[in-house]
Structure 1
């Protein structure tokens, strides 16, 4: 079953993240302290960051690419988990700075490269990765929905066009035998996602389902893997 989430309710949370004067400049997650820059989506507003950081099958000894790195929890965790090369991309320049700060904070700046990028655009044409991952913005809104701030792109994906680009462009940057992963939730439109995968000649496999009791409801997070047919 697909649950619906009110864009208005989500936008209210975003406004707080942008201007709320009660937000701290750091937070604790996964037993570590993380720097939080204003204008970056906090990694503790839901359990999504914790769940995904804990369930991604990191390619230990290999290379890892994260789209939409935000505060950098997942990319930094990938380096701490044994990835020898991590590339973190985000369309929000504040998130790029935040991820770089957390890589420095946790001593992995030598293994974590952070780039300002709209999807794969900052990558070189020959760059390949053992694993590519995106914890996608699952709140569905129609094409034409206004992304009035950089932070809106953290939770809204109009028409799921970002996810379509993620799937279609991944083959150019996956190493031979590489894995393409996507983190989402039961609030996401799975039928639409499956249709984009089908168009790209891929199928979607559910790797892991994790439930968390949150303030409003029980959220069900999904770790998905896309395979060539």
Structure 2
């Protein structure tokens, strides 16, 4: 049986008789606990351990007499807390088995009141090998797999794509692919495309994910869209969504770290009328595949985009950079730095359109007792910068 990466060498067993205090002590000491009890009781144990972690965070973060921390300090401290939380909760694991199904071997979770996991696990990892003996996974990861499967089945409504048969069009994210649940940036691209995208224009969309922006641009009249992503899962996911939305014949999806290899682009295309990039918006080291859509170590992807954009623009072409300014409010990157990188790339700003994020963390604290991090989030603005060669 395979196990999760980095699993501790000390392993114990937990079941319905295990108390939350005993589990918390063992997990904090580095022990991995294999859950063998009722599935729903296992979920309750996760929540109880998490509450104990939160109490510990409040005790260490709320010492009297300490000066209020900056937004950057709070952000980094809470990221460390989330990493610690993930590490400890990830030590509660379950053993998946393999059973004979109608179509061959399939995943099974042999716990009382366990949900059916075969389809969700196959979606995330593929079908099991008959001789594998199963798989040991963190219970938190299994919950993520089950949640991702539900998102994949239901899809994410995207109003900018219009309606079909009286129902808002949707994209269907695959496991491990960043989901466009924050739709304000999609609406922003759609609005700018409605005003500035020339019918029949050639478009390159970098970091396509589910393919949602490629679909919006195709629906707005782009003649050919080339979409890239460094994540192989995203490449497959985008192709599927674009075909389902009826624009696959005008969209080419290829694996690439930013720029497509000319041989993989339609007819060897090297320049485009419009290049669109919605980069990870925060400087930082990603700790998972999904965090690749959020954190950009040293703003590396952003800087490489601005350095290489001019060479990829056709005569009169534009680069559309979709970027949140949260990093600026957190003190992780300044507006002056961004404008300097634009200038160093031989680019000029044609215009900027902005929108206010609609997610709950962007709302000011109604009680007026917000910390510096909450204030920074409430001031966040997402902008589309229209860039051209100087």
Report TM bin, short chain: 0.7 to 0.9
| 1:131 maps onto 2:274 in alignment | yes
Structure holding more strand per residue: 1
Contact 1:182 1:225 survives alignment (8 Å):
yes
Alignment counterpart, residue 71 of structure 1, candidates 207, 210, 217: 210
- Secondary structure at 2:248's aligned position in 1? coil
SS of the residue 2:290 aligns to? helix
Which portions of structure 1, spanning 4 or more consecutive aligned residues, are displaced by more than 4 angstroms?
Answer: none
CA-to-aligned-CA distance 1:103-142 (integer Å, 9 cap, x gap): 110111110000000111423575211000101211122x
Equivalent residues of 2:350, 2:387 under 8 A apart: yes
Q: 1:75 to 1:139 in 2, by over 3 A?
A: same
Deviation for aligned residue 1:155: 1.1
Higher relative contact order (CA 8 A, sep 6+): 1
* 101-110 vs 27-36, greater mean Cα deviation: 27-36
SS in 1 for 2:305: helix
The partner residue of 1:163 within 302, 323, 328 is 302
Q: Deviation at 1:32?
A: 1.1
Instruction: Name the count of aligned residue pairs.
Output: 221
What does residue 75 of structure 2 align with? 6
- The answer to whether the 8 A contact 2:188-2:354 is kept is no
Deviation, structure 1 residue 64: 0.6
Q: Is the 8 A contact 2:283 2:297 kept in 1?
A: yes
Q: Is the 8 A contact 1:92 1:151 kept in 2?
A: no
Q: Which segment drifts farther, 83-92 or 46-55?
A: 46-55
Is the CA contact (8 Å cut-off) linking 1:71 and 1:98 kept in structure 2? yes
Question: 2:172 is matched with which residue?
Answer: 35
Instruction: Tell me, in whole angstroms, the C-alpha distance in 1 between the residues paired with 2:197 and 2:211.
Output: 15
Shift of 1:181: 1.3
Counterparts of 1:213 and 1:184, CA distance in 2: 15
CA distance in 2, matches of 1:213, 1:135: 17
Larger Rg: 2
Correspondence for 2:385: 224
Q: What RMSD over aligned residues (CA atoms) do the two structures have, in Å? A: 2.8
Whether 1:106 aligns to 2:245 is yes
Q: Deviation digits for residues 22-73 of structure 1, max 9, x if unmatched?
A: 2421111113111110100110146333433443443321111100001111
How many Å separate the matches in 2 of 1:22 and 1:117? 28
Q: Secondary structure at the match of 2:210?
A: coil
TM-score by length of 1: 0.84
5+ long unaligned stretches in structure 2:
1-70, 87-139, 160-167, 328-332, 363-377
2-side partners of 1:205 and 1:216: how far apart?
A: 31
Secondary structure in 2 matching 1:208: strand
Q: Does the CA-based 8 Å contact 1:137-1:156 persist in structure 2?
A: yes
Structure 2 vs 1, CA of residues 192 and 207 (structure 1 numbering), >3 Å: closer, same or farther?
same
